[in-house]
Structure 1
Amino acid sequence: MDDEQLPRPEPENPRPQQRAPAFNLPPAILASLAVLIVIFAVMNLPWWSDDTLNWIYFAFSFIPARYAFPLSQQGLEWLWTPVTYSLLHGGIEHIVFNSLWLMVFAAPVARRIGALRYVIFWIFSSAASAFLHAALYWGDQTLLIGASGVVSALMGAACRFAFPAMDSRRVSMRQAHLNPRLGILQSLRSRTVVAYIVMWVAGNALVAFGINLAGDSSQPVAWDAHIGGFLFGFLLFAPFDRQPPEEVREPLPLDE
């Protein structure tokens, strides 16, 4: 009688692969999105009168004309509006596009620098975007709203550590926060960074000439605030950065 041939057991994998979730945003980004969406929803409740909405926009939007006159002759709005304007949005397309870009480009920055530094970065980049806009439109009475300047700053910051790693196609954006920060000139040697900056500048140049590729084309776009934010993030990211520990600086390979 022949012996029964039992199947050979498969060796156990000592390091089972862990599949990362497809949608895994840092808590700071989720909190940012929640704040933007809640404010937008509250602002669009049906019971607000036009006078109340006008007061809210006046009190929390950035207006360059505020800084063309002595601050002692005004209220205190000049203190907080360089930041609060970034939390307001004028329409559904405006907030949807800013939220999408925020999810893409803010995630690696937030993972890298942590929630507290992310909030501080938001405050300073918002002010930098607003005051470049004010410098170009000094004394103008139009209202500036939206998080586009902050998003542009986060894009600029990502150019210092996240995008350069994509040159070799070995690193995903989910792991890019582990890369070392490059110097300004080093970043400009990256093919990915240069290609991105060229496309970004071209897109903003079209906006400057009235050609809006995305979002609500009926509303004017403060392309200059985008540039102010990007320059802030790209040139001044180092003081906000928190370098990853030496033992984890080497990014993980892409999942098969």
Structure 2
Amino acid sequence: MTDSIPPEESLQPPPAAPRSEPILNIPGALVLVIVLMAGLFVAQAYLLSEALSRWIDFEFGFIPARYVYPLFEGDYSWVWSPLSYSFLHGSVEHLVFNCLWLACFGTPVVSRIGTRRSVVFWIASAVAAAAVFAAIHWGEVQLVIGASGVISAFMGAACRFAFPPRSKVFSRRPVFAYPLLGVGEVLASRTAVSFLLVWLAGNVLVAVGLPIVGDASAAVAWEAHIGGLLFGFFAFPLFDRQPVPPGEGAAVNDG
């Protein structure tokens, strides 16, 4: 004896298996940047001569003294160095930690504002971080390389939407689609404030000569970190666009 199944029920498809979303879906643009930074480091550390590697750091690294007097005749690197320094790194630890932090905080920001706006954001934050460093070390021959200032800007930008107060939890939206928060709303979020305080404490320790990770003998441009974070936190609304919650039928574009 067999059970009879109503026709309408027999036509129903089986329930779909729940989809497992990846924890960190890194945008392709960030992957390209990470590959670029890793490639430049490998070339300097293992493929090029030490003299050529030092020339690249000098030519494309950021040095405040360039804005007071030319370091040599025909030195025009003051034009591109406020951006190019952000793609160079001085050690494996420096590169690895920056890539990890970039993946964590760059992913929600790039997913939210798209590739083209993210490129402009990277350029502006690199310049802003370098400008703060130059303002504090005006005229000094100090070399700055690394993406830490830009990554700090991504951190500051993420704080404007990724850590909503408990009273504003948007469980059905991906993080990058959370509404933009005002400064007061960010300060009302325990998670955001705790993160900012821990980040600030780490930079204070670096400023007084207690490195958190990496080579203890390598100077860390904490001034650029602070400049990048402030830029990302306060200037992000200029780059933001209204995210579209899932299910409303509009595709996220690369505008």
TM-score under structure 1 length normalisation: 0.86
Counterparts of 1:211-230 in structure 2 under 5 Å? 211-230=210-229
Counterparts of 1:207-246 in structure 2 under 5 Å? 207-245=206-244
* Preserved CA contact (<8 Å) 2:133 2:224: yes
Matched, 1:110 2:110: yes
SS class of match (1:44): helix
| Structure 2 residue ranges without an equivalent (≥5) | 249-255
**Deviation per residue, 1:131-175 (Å, 9 max, x gap):** 100110111101000000000000000000012267777649x92
1:236 and 1:94 map into 2 onto residues whose CA distance is: 26
Q: CA deviation at 1:6?
A: 8.8
Equivalent in the alignment of 2:144: 144
Query: In 2 relative to 1, CA 161–229 (structure 1 residues): closer, same or farther, beyond 3 Å?
Result: same
Equivalent in the alignment of 2:45: 44
Q: CA deviation at 1:17?
A: 2.2
* Preserved CA contact (<8 Å) 2:161 2:176: yes
* Preserved CA contact (<8 Å) 1:97 1:215: no
Query: In 2 relative to 1, CA 140–189 (structure 1 residues): closer, same or farther, beyond 3 Å?
Result: same
Counterparts of 1:1-256 in structure 2 under 5 Å? 3=1, 12=13, 16-46=17-47, 48-69=48-69, 75-164=75-164, 171=171, 175-245=174-244
Q: CA deviation at 1:216?
A: 2.6
2:242 and 2:193 map into 1 onto residues whose CA distance is: 23
Letter in 1 for 2:115: A
Q: CA deviation at 1:23?
A: 4.6
Q: CA deviation at 1:77?
A: 0.5
1:53 and 1:70 map into 2 onto residues whose CA distance is: 21
Letter in 2 for 1:111: S
| Percent of pairs with identical residues | 45
Q: CA deviation at 1:20?
A: 1.5
Q: CA deviation at 1:217?
A: 2.3
Letter in 2 for 1:88: L
Q: CA deviation at 1:112?
A: 0.2
1:168 and 1:33 map into 2 onto residues whose CA distance is: 33
Q: CA deviation at 1:32?
A: 1.2
1:50 and 1:148 map into 2 onto residues whose CA distance is: 24
* Preserved CA contact (<8 Å) 1:167 1:190: no
* Preserved CA contact (<8 Å) 1:152 1:230: yes
2:56 and 2:140 map into 1 onto residues whose CA distance is: 19
| Structure 1 residue ranges without an equivalent (≥5) | 250-256
Q: CA deviation at 1:41?
A: 1.3
Letter in 1 for 2:189: S
TM-score under structure 2 length normalisation: 0.86
* Preserved CA contact (<8 Å) 2:165 2:188: no
1:91 and 1:220 map into 2 onto residues whose CA distance is: 12
Query: In 2 relative to 1, CA 92–247 (structure 1 residues): closer, same or farther, beyond 3 Å?
Result: closer
**CA root-mean-square deviation:** 2.8
* Preserved CA contact (<8 Å) 1:178 1:248: no
**Deviation per residue, 1:35-59 (Å, 9 max, x gap):** 111111111234x333322221111
SS class of match (1:236): helix
* Preserved CA contact (<8 Å) 2:125 2:232: yes
Query: In 2 relative to 1, CA 106–167 (structure 1 residues): closer, same or farther, beyond 3 Å?
Result: farther
SS class of match (2:62): coil
Q: How many pairs are equivalent?
A: 245
* Preserved CA contact (<8 Å) 2:165 2:186: no
